[in-house]
Structures are given as C-alpha cells and as structure tokens.
Amino acid sequence: MTTAGEQIESTSPPLSESAINEKLLVGVLLQLATFQPEALSEAVQIVHPSDFQVRKNTQVVTAMMELDIEEKPYGVVEVYSRMGGGGETVQYLMDCEGFSRNYGHTFMVTDYAHKVREASERRRLIKAAEQIKALAMSGDYGTNRELFDKAESMLSAVEPLELTPTGPVPVTDKLSKYLDDLTERYQQAKNGEMPPMGLMTGLTDLDLLWTGLKPRKYYVFAARPAMGKTAFLLHILMSVVEQYDDVYAVMFSAEMAFDDEMINRMIANRGRIDQGKLQTAMLDEHDWGRVSGAVGRLNPRLMIDDTEGMTMTHIRREARKIRRQIGKDKKLIIAVDYLQLIEGPKQINDDEYRLNSYLSKQLNKMKKSLDATIIALSQLNRDLEKRADKRPGPSDIRGSGQIEQDADLIAFLYRDEVYNPDTDEKNVLEVITSKQRAGKIGVRKLIFAKEFGRIESFALGA
C-alpha cells in the first residue's frame, strides 16, 4: 500500500508527518460524523483544537465540537455552514475526507489523535527550550537558581498528557474490586487482624481513627508554634519507613535546617535518649548503646531537603525526580514543613491569601500526578491566642480557606501545658481531627515525650 507521505510528495507540495496526521484525523472524523458520531468525543479527550499545527484544522475541529455540543451533526455540510461557507472551505473539507478514505482507517481515530497530541507536545517543548535558551543568554533572570526555577516552570507546562478515563462509568464496573476488598477486610477482621486500609503510623489511637495514611490523599496538620508540629511529622515519617520496606518519604523542610539539631531529634526519638544529653554529649555507656540502636533504625528511604528559599517549583521538580527513581510500584510520602514558608510565583508572594491558595492547589494536584501521600504542616492565625479556649479549629488556619477545601484530612495539634503550665494534662498532645473525607472526626490524646521528641499512644504504645 502506498503511504500517505509518498503519495503527497508526488502530487502536491510535501506535508510534514504532523500535517498528514492532522489531515487524517479531520478526514476520519468527517467520515464517522454520521454513523459513529461518538468518535469526536473520544478524540477530544486526547487532543485539543489548539494542538493542531494547521490553522484550518483548528477551525474545523472547533466547529465540529460546537455542533456536537448543540447535538447537531458535524459532517461536511454542517461544518461548512458553521465556518461561514466559501468555496475554499468546502474544497478543504472534501479534500480531508477523500484523503482519509484513500490513506486512513476509521478504526484508527484515537491513534491519529495521539499522534497529533504528541506532535503538539514536541512543538511546545521546542518552543520552551528556545525560550529557556534566550533567557539564559540574555542574563535577565537574577540568580542561577531563579533561572532553573523559571526553566522548570516552562518545562512543567509541557508535560505529556496522561490519559485517565472520563465521563460516566456504570456503578457495576467498580463492584468487583470493591467486593474483593470488602471480603479481604472481613476475613482479616474475623481473624482479629487490622485491615490494611493505609500506612500505619504506629500511633494506635490515630490509626484506628484515620485507618492509616493513604495514597492520593492530602493531609494537613496545623498548630501554633511550640506545639510539636515538626516532632509529630518526623515521628510519623520515621515510623512509617521503618515499618514498610516499599515506602519512601521526603520531607521538604523550609523551617529547620537539616543539621546536627535535626539529627539529634531523630536519634533521640528512635533511641529514647534525652535530647539534652545529645546536645552536651554527656552520655554514659547505656546511652551510647541507645545511640547505636537509634542509628541502626534510621532509614535511607527517609530523605530531607532543606534547600534555602524553598519554592513550589523546587518541590515539584525534586518530588517528580524521586518518583521516577523509585518507580511506580513504590509508595511515596511527600511532606512539607511548613506551608506558609514556601515561595510561589513572584507576582503573588506578597499576597498571603493568593499564595497559600496556590500552594495548596499545587500540593493537591501532586497527590494524583505523583500517586503520593501529601502531608503539609500549617501555621495558625495569632488571633486564637486571644480566646479563653485556645484549642484551634478550621477557621484558624492561616492565610486561606482554600487549604480547608483542598485537604482530605485536617488535624490540629494542641498541648494545654503551653498555655497553662499548671494543667493536669502535662505531656499530653491532643490531635483534633476536624475534617476527614469518608471518615470520622474526633479528638485523640497522645503522649508527648518532649525530652525525646517522641509521640506515643495511650492505647497500645508506639
């Protein structure tokens, strides 16, 4: 069979492979307009009118989509009329349809759509590369780090399309997997086992309430200063990577440097060693044994990034890099300490509401794009200090209601002894879960062993 490319070269000015695929797609859609009109819906899930290199093709597909939305046919006659008529237009439409009859196949409509989309991505990638080159040569970019961030932002806009099924799905399509999971969990419950609903933190009270940390979920832990946010996060991350061999965790630390102080915290936590002893190095033989044991429990699958001037662009770039390195079959936790210290685009950095909304939306997108569990620590407004009861609630999250909207779970940390030194509840950390999609809310009290920087459960221990 003579290929389309060969035929065109011998009869008319040569067309690029991209233009050939565009013409085949337009022609096949015109053929299918009458007896398989749903073909257009399938194609436009893959390709957008702006993906076409030939302007006329953009106009044709836009007209088709408008007609389809209005539940009208989108054949040659209808598209011709929608585009305003004219001899050149009808000739072009008939040429595309005839071309696809000679050189195309109607069953390949989605294949042509993919090829058009891929060519569009390559063109946009080339354009972004040219813009990056021009920016680098101009010197008009500030520091090299700012140049890399701008380049990353340009390239991230050209990410390949990842198709996910869209549109209505019969409820019965989901039943088979649901029943399999339900049966497995029933058998485990019957045998006295905890169903594997997520990654267990080792904090039994929370694990029973949250049923573990789950992939593709966005968790927000919020508190005022000195409540133990970082200690709480580190404890969870260290516990999870220690329990599960297939879990990797990265903590983007915008507040604390990854220095001896943080390592002291980690050694104290895992070895139950007083942090004061580690800071002064006043250790006895028993302490050294605990240090050795703690070092053995720290895991390279927990990574910490304390890059100065932490930006969302940097977080996205490094998180994507880690996902590529570990592969799709491993579980990934991405943690941010803390949200209000992360920088966004320069034009919104001075607007706290817009910045926090932007950061939260970006983290919420990452949970799906990277198939990851997202944890963000958040600061709270100072106004709660004026209340008699200083236990926080959703309205106290600093900077944006967008965080409350985006998060799948929100938990507030509160230690009464911070405000009331004579309280009866010393060394108690209240975890107030105020939001949990498809789950219960409530308060769980944990032991906060401050000297160890360690969180423990009242229920069964941690």
User: How far is it between the farthest Cα atoms of the chain?
Assistant: 94
Q: Which residues contact 309 (CB under 8 A, 6 or more apart)?
A: 145, 343
Please give the radius of gyration of the chain, using alpha carbons only, rounded to the nearest integer.
Answer: 29
The model's pLDDT over 353-400, given as tens digits with 9 standing for 90+, comes to 888 888 888 899 889 889 999 999 988 888 887 888 888 887 788 766
CA distance 378 to 236: 16
pLDDT reported for residue 8: 36
The H or E element that residue 127 is part of is: helix 109-138
- Output the six-digit token pair for 449: 């062993």
pLDDT at 5 over 50: no
Whether 218 and 406 have beta carbons less than 8 Å apart is answered as: yes
| Tokens 């569990």 belong to residue | 373
The H or E element that residue 337 is part of is: strand 331-337
Domains in the chain with CATH codes: 1-167 (1.10.860.10), 198-457 (3.40.50.300)
**Residue 254: how many CB atoms within 10 A of its CB?**
21
**211: alpha, beta or left, given left = phi > 0 and alpha = psi -120 to 50?**
left
SS3 for 374-400 is EEEEEEECHHHHHCCCCCCCHHHECCC
CA 244, 442, 444, 364 torsion-angle sign: positive
- Output the six-digit token pair for 457: 């459960």
409 three-state secondary structure: strand
434 three-state secondary structure: strand
Better-predicted residue by pLDDT, 345 or 58: 58
The model's pLDDT over 413-438, given as tens digits with 9 standing for 90+, comes to 998 888 888 888 888 888 999 999 87
pTM passes above 0.85? no
The H or E element that residue 179 is part of is: helix 175-190
pLDDT at 159 over 70: no
CA 52, 55, 61, 66 torsion-angle sign: positive
| Tokens 């999250």 belong to residue | 397
The H or E element that residue 431 is part of is: strand 428-436
The H or E element that residue 144 is part of is: helix 144-156
The H or E element that residue 218 is part of is: strand 218-223
Mean pLDDT for the stretch of residues 112-139: 89
Mean pLDDT for the stretch of residues 308-321: 85
Peptide bond into 338 cis (omega under 30): yes
pLDDT reported for residue 278: 76
Please, what is the average pLDDT of the chain?
A: 82
Angle at 177 between CA 213 and CA 442, to 5 degrees: 30
Per-residue confidence band for 237, with pLDDT thresholds at 50, 70 and 90: very high
CA distance 18 to 413: 56
- What does the chain come to in residues? 462
Sheet holding 302-305, edge to edge: 302-305, 247-253, 331-337, 373-379, 218-223, 409-414, 428-436, 442-449, 454-457
Residue 371 identity (one-letter amino acid): D
CA distance 426 to 416: 8
Whether 43 and 25 have beta carbons less than 8 Å apart is answered as: yes
The model's pLDDT over 20-57, given as tens digits with 9 standing for 90+, comes to 999 999 999 999 988 888 888 888 888 888 899 999 99
DSSP string, 46-105: T--GGG-SSHHHHHHHHHHHHHHHTT---SHHHHHHHTT--HHHHHHHHHHHHHHHHH--
